[in-house]
Structure 1
């Protein structure tokens, strides 16, 4: 069974940009490896070992990102008034007088510090397909809590 990775168009573009950047950097890393190899005895050549490791990491990251794009399912925003991937939601947590605003994104794009929550996180799952005014219970590893959806953009 093929598992498709849901993501926003912005998340898809971010991965494409990283791939482009890594591909531009690859010739430089190959040159460093070649120069290190020319220094002599490979068994005691730390420059060669480090250059080989760095190039391997780059190649591995490229394969990983290309696989993410291959299995990406890009979700476009809809205007149905419900929380969904790509939309921005303002939430009121039951125990906090302030509101918090998050963009609902794919797993690969999630970054709570940047205000991006994954649609399949406990909070994301609880608010998906809900409307403004609804209060939902979030079941998280650290316990349960309630949030009310104040706005959806």
Structure 2
């Protein structure tokens, strides 16, 4: 066993602590959707695929057995998604927008109507990364538009730089769920 002198130990670089996990803000509804997806994958989808793979494996030669090969691939996909959902659920920070006291400014969970530099009126709801769906009008709180709108009030004009270029947004309305 090798001994390290106190002088050498003091000169050794300190071990760096792991950075904290990124924040995973989510609405209560978004959390329930993630939990429902996890439960469906774990209790319905995965057992079905395991059964199919087991039946296919019993048929003999697995190297040319399409059902077995596809089933194993699908099982890996399900397991990968379950691991992802587990990590996201473990670090989820639930923020209920209905409890927001300051409803005069834009915060997480707000539904904001704004007009951009092209005079297009747009309505978005600021939600967590796992809930964002632009086709449904939901944007991530980490998106450039959401970051620009944060803490803005009705009538405020905020600059935003997006991948499409620079823009200016004027806040017309801010709503929170009751």
> Same fold by TM (over 0.5)?
yes
The partner residue of 2:36 within 1, 17, 22 is 17
Whole-Å separation in 2 of the counterparts to 1:45 and 1:123: 49
What does residue 3 of structure 1 align with? 22
What does residue 111 of structure 1 align with? 133
What does residue 160 of structure 2 align with? 138
Whole-Å separation in 1 of the counterparts to 2:135 and 2:21: 31
Report the Cα offset of residue 4 of structure 1.
2.5
Q: TM-score, normalised by structure 2?
A: 0.82
Q: TM-score, normalised by structure 1?
A: 0.94
More helix by share: 1
Report the Cα offset of residue 2 of structure 1.
2.3
The count of aligned residue pairs is: 152
Report the Cα offset of residue 115 of structure 1.
0.2
Let me know the Cα RMSD of the aligned residues: 1.1
Report the Cα offset of residue 94 of structure 1.
2.1
Aligned: 1:101 with 2:123: yes
Aligned: 1:70 with 2:90: yes
The partner residue of 2:107 within 70, 80, 84 is 84
Whole-Å separation in 2 of the counterparts to 1:25 and 1:113: 27
Whole-Å separation in 1 of the counterparts to 2:64 and 2:33: 39
What does residue 80 of structure 2 align with? 60
Report the Cα offset of residue 29 of structure 1.
0.9
Structure 2: runs of 5 or more not aligned: 1-19
Question: What's the CA shift string for 1:33-75, capped at 9, x where partnerless?
Answer: 0011011111121211100111111111011011100011111
